[in-house]
Structure 1
Amino acid sequence: MSTPTDTLRIDIWSDVVCPWCYIGKRRLESALDRFEHADAVEIHWHSFQLDPAHPKGHRRPVFETLAQKVGAPIAQVRTMTRQITELAAAEGLTYDLERAVSVNTIDAHRLSHLAAAHGLGDRMHERLLRAHLVEGEIVDDPDTLVRLGVEVGVPEDEIRRTLDSDEYEDAVQADFAEARGYGATGVPFFVINRAYGLSGAQPVDTFLSALRTAHADTARATS
């Protein structure tokens, strides 16, 4: 059993429409299942936008967005995304990117901050990732966000008040700034104990090694 001084903090920057982020989340969870001191781990989610310039209110099928971005026909984009769908399946995730819709994720991130204030940050981020990548939900739609938030236990009246205001906008922007401070240009991005950075959906063994190294260093520092 770990003592309070052995606590490991994991900060994770992620976007709720990021297919690699959901894979990275599952791989980290698999590593934690094997980590001897998982009871001492605290996870903190942070906001990041893959496409902050995406106009608010503009919705477009993900395959159309990717086709324009890479300058390739949609048929080629389907082939390109097949690998990530297969990698997700290996982690128990059933992606349906054919149904996924590109949106601006700022309101989803504000909802995530509200959920975190209720101790529901991890559950909220999980629900939003699943909604977009597996279920084809429109994660900038206010009614959808209210329903998803209520599902994980966030009070409905607080969700509606938040979405009708600019509440948590400053916190979201602070997350973006902190990511830039770490030099993160993409997600998922993981920082263990403010010292060990891991970029991308790393293999489970890589996460486990980093967790063990960070724990050993913490134990030495507090002994």
Structure 2
Amino acid sequence: MKSLDIEITYDFICPWCWIGHSNLKNALKDAAPGLTAKLSYAPYELNPSMPRAGASRKEYRTAKFGSWARSQAMDADVTSAGRKLGLDFNYDRIDVTPNTRLAHRLLAYAQRVGDEKKTEALFEAIFSAYFSRGENIGTLEVLVQLAVAAGFEVQDVRDFLGSAQGEAEVVAKELEAQSLGVSAVPSVRVGDSRIGGAQPSAIFAAALRAALDVSSTKVGPTA
């Protein structure tokens, strides 16, 4: 059984991170049978100065892209791309662009104490809560509910998020990503290679095969 480390640098308000993650999972399932992939997640805040309470999405996006009409056109493109993968983007339900620091701290907690299946379930659940149901994933109560649904203990999650734990860890990982040249997300490290953007499954599959070939070469013959 071959194994491969894969690190996904992401932000929860990035729709292409959700789409890219889905493409990566399809590549792992269809193009790399017999591969044991260890997925890890590295935070990257696209809006590190966003108020903790978040901001009106319409006002924020209008200011960022010059008009609400342009933002809506971009949302339509994302919705179409997501639909092909079975991902529901319901932008009409989203009122707030959240600060994602608390959500990143929660995923750091999940990776620290949970198994990969729980972490994966939570990662997906946070994206779905925001993009499909329009929930404010910058709030404690929403995140606690998502964590419990993914299998984590409610009081442990509350205690963690109610403290300063994970804060320095998130900041350190973001600085590390920047030092490695990451300036946009998603960014996926497959073995020693880094892939930027929500690439199609075929691109990820090729990267997986190349990484496995390199891994086999490094191991070399045993006799």
Query: Shared fold by TM > 0.5?
Result: yes
- After superposition, what is the alpha-carbon deviation per residue over 1:13-53, rounded to whole angstroms, capped at 9, x for unaligned? 11111100000011001111112345321100111111111
- Counterpart of 2:38 in structure 1 is 42
TM-score, with length taken from structure 1: 0.93
Contact preservation (8 Å) 2:7, 2:40 = yes
Structure 1 residues 18 and 38, CA gap change in structure 2 (3 angstroms): farther
Deviation at 1:7, TM superposition (A): 1.7
The residue type paired with residue 59 of structure 2 is E
Displacement of 1:186 in angstroms is 0.8
- 5+ unaligned residues in a row in structure 1: which ranges? none
Alignment partner, residue 212 of structure 2: 215
Q: Which residue is equivalent to 2:151?
A: 153
Task: List runs of 5+ in structure 2 lacking aligned partners.
Answer: none
Q: Which runs of 4+ in 1 moved over 6 A?
A: none
* 2:141 aligned with 1:143: yes
Percent of paired sites with the same residue:
29
Residues 116 and 122, structure 1, Cα contact 8 Å, conserved in 2: no
TM-score, L = length of structure 2:
0.93
Moved more, 52-61 or 179-188: 52-61
Structure 1 residues 4-83: aligned runs within 5 Å: 6-61=2-57, 63-72=58-67, 74-83=68-77
Q: Deviations over 1:170-204 (max 9, x none)?
A: 111121012112201111100112x1000000011
Aligned pair partner of 2:109 in 110, 114, 128 = 114
| 1:69–1:18 CA distance, 2 compared to 1 (3 A) | same
| Counterparts of 1:40 and 1:75, CA distance in 2 | 44
2:147–2:157 contact (8 Å) kept in structure 1 = yes
The whole-number CA distance in structure 2 between the counterparts of 1:30 and 1:38 is 14
Deviation at 1:220, TM superposition (A): 0.9
Measured on the aligned residues, the alpha-carbon RMSD in Å equals 1.3
Q: Is the 8 A contact 1:13 1:189 kept in 2?
A: yes
Change (3 A) 1:222 1:175: same
In 2, distance between residues paired with 1:13 and 1:104?
A: 17
